[in-house]
Amino acid sequence: MSVTSCSVSQERSVTYHLFAVIAALALLAMPRFVVSAGIRADTVLVDTNRIRSTAGAPPLHMDTALTAAAQQRAEEILTRQHFAHERPNGTSFATAAQDARYPFSRVAENLAIAFTAEDPLMRAWDQSPDHRRNLWNTQYTDTGIGIASGDFAGIPTIVVVQMFGERQAPNLRLWHALPSGLHHA
């Protein structure tokens, strides 16, 4: 089982690649098992908000665009066999949120692989400083959760991606009516 976390403000490091290598080795060492779709996005959301409440953070709201981005990430991790915050095409995970048309001022991502239930997954994220930072961050207001099951390195598994976001404030322009029409103030 492996987890990894990243936000767009963090620099890339060897740590992310190390997590991917450890995850792949752990998967290869595990006995074959049948993966069930035992992890549910709604339960991950409830558990996330429970963890946030203990930290004094407001609850997150499930966002359809971030959910689409997280699902895209979960599926591409399996199909492209690339467990990392960098996407298989070399871009940041944040481009998935952009592609899904989520207008963010900040966005982060937690990844997990080889978990079959929510409790150990959430415990692992909450015990990891980087994942906890994303879970507890009071600036995030939205979340999206993607879950995909399939083979990674030839082993049946489940990939969970949770994205966190804060919507970019709309570019509000003040308009006022003049006899000749609307004008930008």
Q: Which helix H or strand E contains 158, and what residues bound it?
A: strand 155-167
170 — pLDDT class (breaks 50, 70, 90): confident
CA distances for 182 relative to 170, 171, 172, 175, angstroms:
19, 17, 15, 6
- The number of helix segments (H) and strand segments (E) in the chain equals 6, 7
Q: Reduce the DSSP state of residue 3 to 3 states and report it.
A: strand
Question: What is the maximum alpha-carbon separation in the chain?
Answer: 77
Euclidean distance between the first and the last CA atom of the chain, given in angstroms as a whole number: 56
Picking from 157, 171, 31, 41, the residue whose alpha carbon sits closest to that of residue 105 is 171
Q: Phi and psi of 14, rounded to 5°?
A: -65, -25
- Four-CA torsion 42, 134, 153, 31, nearest 10 degrees: -70
Q: Phi and psi of 117, rounded to 5°?
A: -150, 155
Q: What six digits make up the tokens of 99? A: 């592609």
- Rounded to an integer, the average pLDDT of 95-106 is 96
8 — pLDDT class (breaks 50, 70, 90): low
- Rounded to an integer, the average pLDDT of 167-178 is 65
- Whether this model's pTM surpasses 0.85: no
